[in-house]
Structure 1
Amino acid sequence: MNEIQGIGIGQGVAAGPVIRMAEPLPEPVDRPSHLDAAREEERAKASLAVVADELQRRGARAGGAAKDVLEAQAMMAEDPTLITDVVARLAEGKTAERAVYEAFASFRELLAGMGGYLGERAADLDDVSQRVVAHLLKVPAPGVPDPGHPFVLVARDLAPADTAVLDLEQVLALVTIDGGPTSHTAILAREQSIVAVVGAADAASLADGDQVLVDAEHDVVVVAPDEARLAEARERIAARKLAAEAPVTPGALADGTAVPLLANLGSVAGAAEALRLGAEGVGLFRTEFLFLDAERAPSITEQQEQYTKLLTEFAGKKVVVRVLDAGADKPLAFLNDAEEENPALGLRGIRALRHSETILREQLTALAAADAATEAELWVMAPMIATVEETRYFTALATELGIRTAGVMVEVPAAALLADRVLGACAFASIGTNDLTQYTMAADRLLGTVAQLQSPWHPAVLRLIEEVGAAGARTGTPVGICGEAAADPLLAVVLVGLGATSLSMSPSALADVRASLARYGLDDARAIARAALAAEGAADAKQAAVTAAASATAAREGAP
């Protein structure tokens, strides 16, 4: 056996034969067209429309986060700027295939250079381009193979259109060579409970037919596993199945300490499924879906309608809404579309909203109206808070406009280091571990080449979380976790040990986290957290937590 290291998504484990994803189509030949420009334009626009329609239909079938991603890809195929570029290249005598390829490649280069959210979308452009070129050439679009038997899919990375419609009866697990823990592949794999290990660079050496064990919990792909390893995997699969089928109960530690388990949602559409899976409320409702595809800011009435739908679904439960988190890396013409050298450090989050305060006022007004008309417990928080003054600005404005519970997100190390003062100026805090990790480690959370630095297990990140948890205890301020770190069952225990009072995650992770918390008391959680904090790196911290957790379990069961 040999092991390939990567980043596991969730707790799953699966075994089977490798099937490699087909390589992309070759670059279309740059040759003069034998058709006139008008005919080539007709061909190009027809294929762009077909691909856009197919992506829309796939999104409608998939639902959830996949629907949002695929609809965004469909918009790429219909983007007027891209189509204008294609037409201009056709006027130079190029074929439709070559013009589409060049136009998408040019736009891809632009997005990749911008980094952040738009940098990650560059890979999505490649997928759309490949599908359009394939349609023009009348060949199958690159996609998931169908060998006729269950398999482990190994790919450089997986396009959202493919991840969204994977046949989970055939695809036992997913391994990607590129990608990080917050890539689209990872997000969709987590949402669909697909066993996955991403960013496994050495998986490039795997060949069709190789037998592998994909162990997301331990961040490895085991090549040619022996029978003992396979037997252990089968036991874990059976145990997870039992846990998933257990009656849904409120989140709590073994000693009865309550730890509410909440859902991260990107639209109202996911509410029913979150409730079915046992969400006790919403810990992060992202409002960007209302804004990102719009040419103007939605009206107060339009926003109020959507917020009312959400709050009605969660009547009697806590719903934490994040005001618009956008800026230069997610440019909006009506907010801030100025180009910045480093958008992740630019005018984003509360900074962008403060720059265009009318948009913030209208959003808070709509939220307050929805709150008054429903019976949920609405909490509203601001993203990217870095200073005490920003905290006071947001909470004062929110209170003025009728928000009863106003808080902040702790994603910037400065806010964590001044947590006593920040938490003293608001009603609650929620730690966004994705961005907190990015800024602590100076590693773009969407960049696969630095994926190993993006782990929230790193003791530097854990220490900042501990600062916030301790400040929350001293000031009596609730401290939640809404980054995907909360979806890691063992890390969830560590986070509670560091002072988190609630955890919010993708709904598909709720069962695993609920079962994990129930194994340990509060003293255990604190001991496991101390072990992780004492380590020097992320991998060491996770291993130290595993060891401490095993000791806690043995002590509780009276083992020697």
Structure 2
Amino acid sequence: MSEDEPGIAYGFGRHRGLLVDRSGIEEIVYGKALLYLEKPDADLIRTLAPRLSGVIVQEPVTPYAPEARALWSLPVPVLTGIAVDDSWLGHDVVVDFDAATTAPFLLNPTGLRLHAEVASLAEAREAGHLADGWAPLRAEDLRALSDRDRADLWHFLAESGRPLPAIRYFDEPVGGPHAASFGRRGVRSLPPDALDAFGTLVEQSPDDDPVVVVPMVAAREEIDAFRAATGARWRLGLDVATPAAALGIADLVDDCHLLHVNTADLTQHTMVWDRTVRNDVLVPPGHLPLVILQLVEWSASVGATHDIPCQVALDLRPGPQLLDQLRLAGVRDLTCPAPLIRHWRHLLDHTP
């Protein structure tokens, strides 16, 4: 690739995707492809836009050229004046439209995989081209969508090229007890109407063998009760949100297919502090408290020992100290809200 000078960018941001040319258009996976063209073709780009994260054009187009206006109007960013070697085709490429440069994608040294937490199609699209996978979908978020929006979201996820996400049972079913009633949250309250509504949501997943995540668990008996109430028809995952679940996780993972460590709930319940009230000692904003980090490390080690995927959910601002904590704890899969995916990707790509 020629790097004598930067190209001319029509768009902003940093995007990653599988690089394909016209002959490889059929290989495009939604939200994961960069299209490489010799000359700008606004009509083609506009047609393929829903399946692209960006476009690289070999021929330069100056901001004064008639084509420039058409490129600015496209729904995906375009970088012109960049020649790419054929050996790059079919491989991941990073395009920095702010710097007007492009480079081969190098896996971050930590090996950390990012899974986007989404509640809508818009959020999935926002993170789709940068996320490595999807965090479990919350049943309450799915239920809040219209039938059409729910179908569109599942279609997007199915076409994304990543495994379909698990579905987490209602943390607070509609019509059930308020979430503040810890004793009845999650699988501790299994009213038949909530189970029926949840079953309907799971049936809409394109996954032939879905994973269902059970929240707010402290004892094996609670998992067994959920399995009995649902006829043992799904593979189960565990949402580690209580100190009891984290400390006793080795006794809870029989027949478990996914561990999801919910650090927000886990921190609140362990530190006995309302996470909505600032306390930089008990609930620091930029890193995990030591005791929570120890619970995360224990959960990750049990998952690794039993060959169970372990995702750690974090809402904290990405930063070097937090990244070091995750690396030392043996975390390999991180879930976070869709808007944070871009910031995590930036941090990982710039971490030696």
TM-score using structure 1 length: 0.40
How far apart are residue 506 of structure 1 and its match?
Answer: 2.1
Match of 1:407 among 209, 225, 237: 237
Corresponding letter in the other structure for 1:499: G
2:204 aligned partner: 370
| 1:332-481 aligned within 5 A | 332=174, 334-336=175-177, 343=180, 345-352=182-189, 354=190, 356-367=191-202, 369-371=203-205, 374=206, 378-395=210-227, 400-401=232-233, 403=234, 405-448=235-278, 450=279, 452-455=281-284, 457-481=288-312
How far apart are residue 433 of structure 1 and its match?
Answer: 0.7
Deviations 1:533-552 (A, max 9, x none): xxxxxxxxxxxxxxxxxxxx
Cα distance in structure 1, aligned partners of 2:149 and 2:169: 13
Cα distance in structure 2, aligned partners of 1:359 and 1:254: 44
Q: Is the 8 A contact 1:243 1:512 kept in 2?
A: no
* Alignment CA distance shift 1:363-1:375 (3 Å): closer
* Alignment CA distance shift 1:291-1:471 (3 Å): same
Q: Is the 8 A contact 1:437 1:461 kept in 2?
A: yes
Cα distance in structure 2, aligned partners of 1:436 and 1:344: 16
Gaps of 5+ in 2: 1-95
How far apart are residue 469 of structure 1 and its match?
Answer: 0.8
Deviations 1:58-105 (A, max 9, x none): xxxxxxxxxxxxxxxxxxxxxxxxxxxxxxxxxxxxxxxxxxxxxxxx
| 1:110-259 aligned within 5 A | 252-254=107-109, 257=111, 259=112
How far apart are residue 347 of structure 1 and its match?
Answer: 1.8
Cα distance in structure 1, aligned partners of 2:239 and 2:299: 11
Identity %: 25
* Alignment CA distance shift 1:285-1:486 (3 Å): farther
Q: Is the 8 A contact 2:312 2:335 kept in 1?
A: yes
Q: Which structure shows the higher strand fraction?
A: 2
Higher alpha-carbon Rg: 1
Cα distance in structure 2, aligned partners of 1:390 and 1:245: 53
How far apart are residue 409 of structure 1 and its match?
Answer: 0.7
Cα distance in structure 2, aligned partners of 1:392 and 1:417: 19
Tell me the SS of whatever aligns to 2:117. Answer: strand
Gaps of 5+ in 1: 1-239, 293-297, 521-552, 554-560
Corresponding letter in the other structure for 2:176: L
Match of 1:507 among 338, 342, 346: 338
Match of 1:286 among 131, 138, 150: 138
* Alignment CA distance shift 1:306-1:429 (3 Å): farther
Q: Which structure shows the higher helix fraction?
A: 1
How far apart are residue 483 of structure 1 and its match?
Answer: 2.9
Deviations 1:492-542 (A, max 9, x none): 44224313231111223223323434566xxxxxxxxxxxxxxxxxxxxxx
Cα distance in structure 1, aligned partners of 2:99 and 2:300: 29
2:157 aligned partner: 314
Q: Is the 8 A contact 1:419 1:471 kept in 2?
A: yes
Cα distance in structure 2, aligned partners of 1:435 and 1:244: 41
Deviations 1:260-290 (A, max 9, x none): 21111123332211214x1233214233245
Q: Is the 8 A contact 1:410 1:429 kept in 2?
A: yes
1:273 aligned partner: 126
1:325 aligns with 2:159: no
Deviations 1:403-432 (A, max 9, x none): 3x4201101010000111112341111011
How far apart are residue 309 of structure 1 and its match?
Answer: 2.6
* Alignment CA distance shift 1:411-1:375 (3 Å): closer
Cα distance in structure 2, aligned partners of 1:387 and 1:246: 51
Deviations 1:468-507 (A, max 9, x none): 0111111111110123148455424422431323111122
Corresponding letter in the other structure for 2:237: G
Tell me the SS of whatever aligns to 1:484. Answer: coil
How far apart are residue 312 of structure 1 and its match?
Answer: 1.0
Cα distance in structure 1, aligned partners of 2:318 and 2:238: 21
Deviations 1:95-146 (A, max 9, x none): xxxxxxxxxxxxxxxxxxxxxxxxxxxxxxxxxxxxxxxxxxxxxxxxxxxx
Cα distance in structure 1, aligned partners of 2:256 and 2:317: 23
2:45 aligned partner: none
RMSD: 3.5
Cα distance in structure 1, aligned partners of 2:230 and 2:319: 33
* Alignment CA distance shift 1:464-1:477 (3 Å): same
Corresponding letter in the other structure for 2:185: R
* Alignment CA distance shift 1:360-1:289 (3 Å): same
* Alignment CA distance shift 1:246-1:412 (3 Å): farther
Cα distance in structure 2, aligned partners of 1:285 and 1:512: 21
Q: Is the 8 A contact 2:236 2:255 kept in 1?
A: no
1:495 aligns with 2:330: no
* Alignment CA distance shift 1:375-1:488 (3 Å): farther
How far apart are residue 377 of structure 1 and its match?
Answer: 8.3
* Alignment CA distance shift 1:386-1:492 (3 Å): farther
Tell me the SS of whatever aligns to 2:246. Answer: helix
Q: Is the 8 A contact 1:392 1:425 kept in 2?
A: no
2:114 aligned partner: 261
How many pairs are equivalent? 252
How far apart are residue 396 of structure 1 and its match?
Answer: 5.6
Deviations 1:158-195 (A, max 9, x none): xxxxxxxxxxxxxxxxxxxxxxxxxxxxxxxxxxxxxx
* Alignment CA distance shift 1:336-1:309 (3 Å): same
How far apart are residue 366 of structure 1 and its match?
Answer: 2.8
Corresponding letter in the other structure for 1:416: A
How far apart are residue 395 of structure 1 and its match?
Answer: 4.8
Deviations 1:315-356 (A, max 9, x none): 2423232222216xxxx4x2225xx9xx2633222223x2x1
Deviations 1:362-388 (A, max 9, x none): 313431x223xx369853312212212
Tell me the SS of whatever aligns to 2:176. Answer: coil
